[in-house]
């Protein structure tokens, strides 16, 4: 819920800032920054939905009793692995963008 609210606020900031700065034919650094922020928040929302879906699927599986436990454990492990991947990948993605962004801004 907080991520969706943050996405809405970020889109509002983007439209307000775009209305106040001069219009140009080329892409400005502030446009790049806002597009990255909106994309990053959207990816966070998608990741949270996937993790929640995997956890919910591990709770309810219409299968036989002997495979039900294995399926629950497998889906819960998949949710945990995906969460760990996101906790590592998102900061690396943001850090690499920031490095490229600041190098581009300095040039």
Question: Residue 61 in 3-state DSSP?
Answer: coil
CATH number at residue 35: 1.20.58.390
Name the pTM for this structure. 0.78
Does the pLDDT of residue 64 top 80, yes or no? no
Q: Which domain covers residue 27, as residue numbers?
A: 2-106
Name the E strands within 10-49: none
Q: Are 51 and 83 in contact (CB under 8 A)?
A: yes
What integer best gives the mean pLDDT of the chain?
A: 86
CA dist., res. 95 & res. 34, Å (int): 16
The C-alpha atoms of residue 10 and residue 18 are separated, in whole angstroms, by 12
Confidence label for 47 from pLDDT (cuts 50, 70 and 90): very high
Q: What is the mean pLDDT of residues 42-68?
A: 77
For residues 26 and 57, the answer to whether their CB atoms sit within 8 Å is: no
Q: Which residue has the tokens 């219409």?
A: 62
Domains: count for the chain: 1
């Amino acid at each position: 819920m907080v991520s969706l609210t943050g996405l809405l606020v970020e889109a509002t900031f983007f439209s307000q800032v775009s209305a106040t700065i001069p219009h140009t034919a080329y892409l400005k650094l502030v446009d790049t920054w806002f597009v990255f922020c909106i994309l990053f928040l959207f990816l966070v929302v998608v990741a949270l939905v996937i993790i929640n879906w995997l956890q919910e699927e591990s709770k309810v599986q219409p299968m036989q009793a002997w495979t039900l436990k294995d399926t629950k454990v497998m889906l819960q492990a998949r949710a945990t692995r995906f969460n760990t991947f996101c906790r590592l990948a998102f900061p690396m993605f943001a850090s690499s963008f920031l490095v490229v962004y600041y190098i581009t801004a300095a040039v």
